[in-house]
């Protein structure tokens, strides 16, 4: 093969860190249909905060070329000369929790129109086992006019990005790789191994690699559902769940999962991909779907517990002013995709309460566009009947909540990060 030139399709939370990493050794063209996103990146700034401005600027080049570095573009003509294409678009679910492969299919159409003989297409998006070969490859063949495993090849290397995690960055997470033939598998593995310092694991088939990814988050989802159910039980028994988990955690093989709201683009989504595939094959995945039901119901549970706590403290519910601390899907991260804090807010609004959202990490415009909600980046200058911490941002830990409380008010802590002496209830 000629000199390696990589095209990364999709420059979000997954694509950009990967493109930046490959750009330290190869010529990389990052493609995204969002022109504003491309312009932002070429100016040397990443608003997702996954890549620092200094690191991003160190790899940027001014034009697509054979030189080592990263060029970001919204023009397909700039991606023509690549021989590796890595697709990193999102794979969401719809309102009925059915997998939505549209972004993946559209990206496959785009890459298919660019394919040349001997090119290799690698998928990183989380899917159910078989999706790459059954759904994506036919699209590549149709749009390229080339024959799979004769004129072009494919692989799958599931993303393991943890948004907001500055310790487990892409190069420090062991990478699973796979290829459509044994030879292509080795080529893809060598490519990733050249930049992933944590090393790689070459899976025997694409389906094995796909399955390994989708069960990673399904396993976490089920474990979190278990401790969420424990939290509900212990709350009825007036026992602090975190005290129980701390005590149980003294045993060497106890798994350290904590209760909470399970959102985001991975844990709250991936199990549905595996579940749907299982159902198509005639099997009903009881444990996977039970875990999903528990976790999807936690927003309503938190809201009902907040209301109960307010009633116990003789706080009038109608028109009560409630402050929500955090709207992102996890702490110290600006990502608001599939955040379950929204479920808490929606449920509280059903009681005719007045909600104020404060989150120093979230984009006000993104929250408005995504959910139709108004949020603040600065602490509001008013007092509240209830304060509900839904996200454990560092800024909230040690925050002076007394200045935000009315004479009679309650504090509910979903994440167990506040001083126990100031909270009235929590998971």
CA distances, 224 to each of 39, 374, 401 (Å) = 39, 30, 28
Cα–Cα distance measured from residue 23 to residue 94, given in angstroms and rounded to the nearest whole number:
34
82, 136, 266, 333: the catalytic one is 266
**Residue pointed to by tokens 């991606």:** 79
Stated length of the chain: 427
Is the alpha carbon torsion for 220, 221, 226, 232 positive or negative? positive
Name the 3-class secondary structure at 1. Answer: coil
Angle 177-182-185 (CA atoms, 0-180°, nearest 5)? 25
CA distances, 280 to each of 269, 276, 277, 384, 420 (Å) = 18, 6, 5, 49, 47
Cβ-contact 45, 38 below 8 angstroms:
no
Phi, psi of 351 (to 5 degrees): -95, 10
Cα–Cα distance measured from residue 385 to residue 402, given in angstroms and rounded to the nearest whole number:
12
What kind and span of H or E run contains 290?
A: helix 286-296
Q: How many CA atoms lie within 13 A of 407 on its CB side?
A: 1
Cβ burial, residue 297 (10 Å; 0-12/13-18/19+): middle
Angle 208-129-339 (CA atoms, 0-180°, nearest 5)? 115
Annotation marks residue 266 as catalytic? yes
Angle 108-6-155 (CA atoms, 0-180°, nearest 5)? 50
Phi, psi of 326 (to 5 degrees): 110, 130
Cβ-contact 427, 260 below 8 angstroms:
yes
For the annotated catalytic residues, the residue numbers are 266
């Amino acid at each position: 093969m000629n000199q390696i030139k990589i095209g990364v399709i999709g420059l979000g939370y997954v694509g950009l860190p990967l493109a930046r990493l490959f750009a330290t050794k190869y010529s990389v063209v990052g493609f995204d249909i969002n022109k504003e996103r491309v312009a932002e990146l070429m100016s040397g700034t990443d608003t997702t905060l996954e890549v620092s401005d200094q690191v991003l600027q160190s790899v940027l080049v001014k034009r697509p070329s054979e030189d080592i570095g990263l060029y970001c573009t919204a023009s397909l003509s700039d991606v023509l000369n690549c021989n590796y294409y890595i697709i990193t678009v999102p794979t969401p679910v719809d309102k009925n929790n059915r997998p939505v492969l549209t972004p993946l299919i559209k990206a496959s159409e785009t890459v298919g129109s660019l394919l040349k003989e001997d090119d290799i297409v690698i998928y990183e998006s989380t899917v159910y086992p078989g999706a790459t070969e059954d759904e994506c490859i036919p699209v590549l063949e149709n749009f390229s006019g080339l024959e799979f495993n004769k004129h072009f090849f494919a692989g799958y290397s599931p993303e393991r990005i943890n948004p907001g995690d500055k310790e487990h960055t892409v190069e420090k997470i062991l990478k699973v790789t796979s290829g459509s033939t044994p030879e292509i598998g080795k080529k893809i593995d060598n490519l990733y191994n050249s930049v992933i310092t944590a090393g790689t694991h070459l899976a025997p088939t694409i389906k094995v690699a796909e399955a390994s990814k989708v069960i990673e988050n399904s396993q976490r989802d089920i474990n979190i559902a278990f401790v969420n159910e424990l939290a509900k039980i212990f709350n009825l028994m007036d026992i602090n769940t975190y005290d129980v988990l701390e005590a149980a955690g003294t045993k060497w093989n106890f798994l350290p999962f904590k209760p909470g709201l399970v959102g985001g683009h991975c844990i709250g989504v991936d199990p549905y991909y595996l579940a749907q595939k299982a159902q198509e094959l005639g099997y009903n995945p009881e444990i996977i779907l039970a875990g999903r039901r528990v976790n999807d119901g936690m927003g309503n549970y938190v809201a009902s517990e907040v209301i109960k706590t307010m009633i116990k403290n003789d706080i009038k519910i109608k028109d009560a002013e409630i402050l929500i601390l955090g709207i992102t899907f996890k702490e110290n991260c600006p990502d608001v995709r599939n955040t379950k804090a929204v479920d808490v807010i929606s449920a509280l609004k059903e009681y005719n309460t007045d909600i104020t959202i404060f989150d120093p990490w979230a984009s006000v415009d993104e929250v408005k566009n995504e959910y139709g909600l108004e949020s603040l980046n600065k602490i509001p200058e008013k007092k509240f009947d209830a304060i509900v911490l839904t996200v454990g941002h560092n800024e909230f830990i040690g925050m002076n909540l007394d200045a935000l409380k009315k004479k009679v008010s309650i504090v509910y802590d979903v994440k167990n990060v506040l001083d126990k002496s100031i909270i009235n209830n929590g998971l």
